[in-house]
Structure 1
């Protein structure tokens, strides 16, 4: 018998291990647990499970009382594996013993599986990351590569999405990953509402490079915030790299270097993501024709927008709108009121 009692909701199981980081388990409950549709109905049912029900040690001075065992994994449509203190240390690794291996074997073939921080070691040891592009905490990159040299590890991103398998880099990027999954399931409007309720940004720019300890830069450095703010206001005019650099009164080369250091991505990659986010917002919240959406988001033509959405999201603008434009969206063309 399934431990999930609400078949109308997407079932999420959080698999905790001895020494779990409780904040990471809490992130999953807090974010998925807030998501509601336009009528106010909850969209997810989240349960916590362990290899053995009962008291589970955390990496703090309190324990978790977990009601469910690995049978919770049988009916889960999404399984999330947080980090545990066994993943850290001089030579962190997560051997898959019989109990953990048997538990992971209960996950449905069509279920989505995600790790937070060094939870990626568990998925890797179980063979779930073969052929995937993954990430883990930047401090554990060297150990991960030594243990799993065949796995494509990207240490510079906050999270990765391979379709069925997803990984997040660290504690806070677990928030980014959960919001990403909610956005993929139910659209930006629902994810943004969850982000507001949690008082976090709905989308963070850059990657782990922002958080790796570096030498203090020379005082000549300035940020790129003014150029980014200006670019967001002028997406429909397709702001160029040269124009952005001019906003900061520096050369293109200097601006590009500063931008990558500050944001973790190139200006071109950042602009592309902002355009896509803007197009998704307009498709969800307005009745604008697709060609106007393309113009407002800086893609120029509907054909260009279709090409980018197909490449990044695997759907056309029309299909995306049918999926995510809720009944509360205004039927009028134009940008909705704030």
Structure 2
């Protein structure tokens, strides 16, 4: 949004937020933020709430009069498709995860419903072009690749060197949730703790799994005092720079920003080879390692252990990682988005 404002476009944000909501990240003052304050964003809306939203959304959309609307994720796309029926505004269905999420969440009916609704989109944006193969052929002509922009880092990790206390840090950044599967990372680290006594695990993020993860940590002598749940931060760059290795044990992803940022800061990274998004960013043997399968504690332990034991290899991979993210520099990614917006609007 900030970039499009800078390029001379008028931009509005429509969200379910309360009227007193504030943005977590800096937002350009020119952006018009319509806070609908109808229902609870943390809960699925019931029929009454959805009916109450109709006049608010139509009034806000009419007031702003956009040439095109970007709908992030399938649920919001279907909602806006129905709420703006008859208004003649083209919609973009912006997918933020790989369709492999249906292997772990939702249902076959949900998948069919989503794919059918996408027939009414002007464009469907996916974060890697290979995701096209997960969609029905009837949708292929609408699909456009729009990878996430990755800011160029100015400070970099030193993967092969311990900190001033002589310790090394394995880092993960992400929501404490089922998708990220931090339970398996804790299990893998516990199996390595006795072998790597000078390593700690830091997990930056917050989420609904905090309590269960804390119980795992407190209940294991190999994890207590070695694993730290630090919560959210607005200075995640400092976490990347002060770490030696990164791991994202997700079940599925789209374009995992935290992983891309870690690589851009020169952190060699580990994830599962069968996790969409992770395997698209990590070059196995070049910028990190891909553990076999998806969800295996044994394969993740091996992949992590191999790199935790080899300081020289981590250093080389970290240098490769920095270079690998240059293909996602913001200017090129925003050019793609602007082109998609203009195509859809026309």
Q: What TM-score, normalized to structure 1?
A: 0.31
Q: What TM-score, normalized to structure 2?
A: 0.30
Structure with greater contact order relative to length (CA < 8 Å, sep ≥ 6): 2
